[in-house]
């Protein structure tokens, strides 16, 4: 168990240098996420250059999906349009934008392709800060178990299977759940779980069971349907922007209150915790007060390694 313990609300406040490094991390990840779109645009440009004039693009079947994208048709929209609609969209692109561009029509085509792809990238970016926060928390949790020599399995978000824990690079990006044992007792941590006692989604839920007791789609059969199984429930807010800090805390505070009310109706009082990356003075005071009053069992600033390690040690010891 880590010896770190919160002594004052000031320790929860996110320092300016951590905010700065957080923004840089998000910027770097944005560039990484954008790389496949850029590479796709390069290939699209190379193949489109075979056309002597804009109408010749229609004679290159391999680029037709990308022509639709350049026409402003998103992947979601494609499924709602028929072949005639596709043809009309591409014809509109050629008539209104590519023909007027003259000899530069291929560059114009690629610019418009990237504009539509940019919308898709924007959707990814809106959830990026939260994802980075979840990755960071998970990475510390896994490292804590490795240091403690605690064997674990993780729920792979792609295969939806529980796999043996390992030292794989970027493992935290694949995790949607973790399971381990404490003194021979099984523990399972699930991410983004709809909790029946609360009737809402909760970011992190620690249950007194092993992974085999979690059965999706069978109401009343799964351990997560049993309120007695819950040991701890927490809210994780990974956004680093100070401008959104108060709103994140209000959302988390409401969720945590809902958890306490939902379980109190079952005459239960599981542990509750909060982890946030952007914590300003007023909310730090409120969070610290709740911890002191034991309304909130535990809390940590995601940008403070000692605090996250302490919370991870506590969580993996329950």
- Radius of gyration of the CA atoms of the chain, in A: 25
Query: Using CA atoms, how far apart are residues 151 and 185, in angstroms rounded to an integer?
Result: 13
Tell me what pLDDT residue 221 has: 84
- Structural domains present in the chain: 9-28+128-315 (3.40.91.10), 49-124 (1.10.238.90)
Tell me what pLDDT residue 2 has: 47
- Mean pLDDT for each 10-residue chunk of the chain (318 residues)? 74 93 87 90 95 94 93 84 89 94 95 86 72 92 94 94 88 94 96 94 96 80 94 94 91 96 96 96 96 95 95 96
Contact 188, 206 (CB under 8 A): yes
Q: At a CB cut-off of 8 Å and minimum separation 6, what does 224 contact?
A: 190, 193, 195, 196, 205, 207, 214
Tell me what pLDDT residue 4 has: 65
> Residue 121 is encoded by which pair of tokens?
């990238």
Backbone torsions φ then ψ of 236, nearest 5 degrees = -120, 120
pTM of this structure: 0.80
């Amino acid at each position: 168990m880590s010896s770190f313990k919160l002594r004052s609300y000031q320790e929860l406040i996110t320092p300016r240098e951590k905010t700065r490094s957080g923004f840089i991390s998000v910027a770097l990840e944005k560039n990484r996420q954008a790389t496949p779109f850029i590479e796709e645009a390069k290939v699209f440009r190379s193949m489109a250059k075979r056309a002597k004039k804009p109408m010749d693009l229609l004679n290159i079947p391999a680029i037709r999906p990308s022509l639709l994208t350049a026409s402003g048709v998103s992947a979601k929209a494609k499924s709602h349009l028929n072949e005639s609609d596709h043809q009309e969209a591409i014809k509109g692109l050629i008539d209104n934008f590519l023909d007027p561009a003259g000899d530069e029509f291929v560059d114009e085509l690629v610019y418009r392709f990237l504009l539509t792809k940019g919308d898709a990238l924007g959707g990814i970016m809106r959830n990026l800060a939260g994802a980075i926060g979840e990755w960071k928390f998970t990475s510390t949790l896994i490292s804590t178990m490795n240091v403690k020599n605690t064997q674990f399995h993780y729920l792979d978000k792609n295969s939806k299977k529980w796999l043996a824990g390992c030292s794989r690079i970027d493992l935290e990006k694949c995790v949607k759940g973790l399971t381990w044992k404490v003194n021979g007792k099984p523990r399972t941590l699930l991410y983004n779980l709809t909790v029946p006692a609360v009737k809402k989604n909760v970011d992190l839920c620690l249950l007194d069971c092993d992974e085999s007791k979690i059965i999706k789609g069978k109401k009343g059969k799964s351990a997560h349907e049993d309120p007695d199984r819950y040991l701890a429930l927490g809210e994780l807010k990974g956004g680093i922007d100070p401008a959104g800090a108060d709103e994140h805390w209000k959302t988390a505070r409401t969720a945590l209150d809902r958890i306490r009310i939902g379980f109190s109706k079952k005459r239960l009082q599981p542990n509750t915790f909060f982890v946030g990356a952007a914590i300003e003075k007023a909310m730090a005071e409120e969070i610290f007060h709740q911890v002191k009053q034991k309304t909130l069992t535990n809390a940590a600033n995601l940008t403070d390694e000692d605090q996250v390690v302490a919370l991870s040690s506590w969580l993996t010891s329950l």
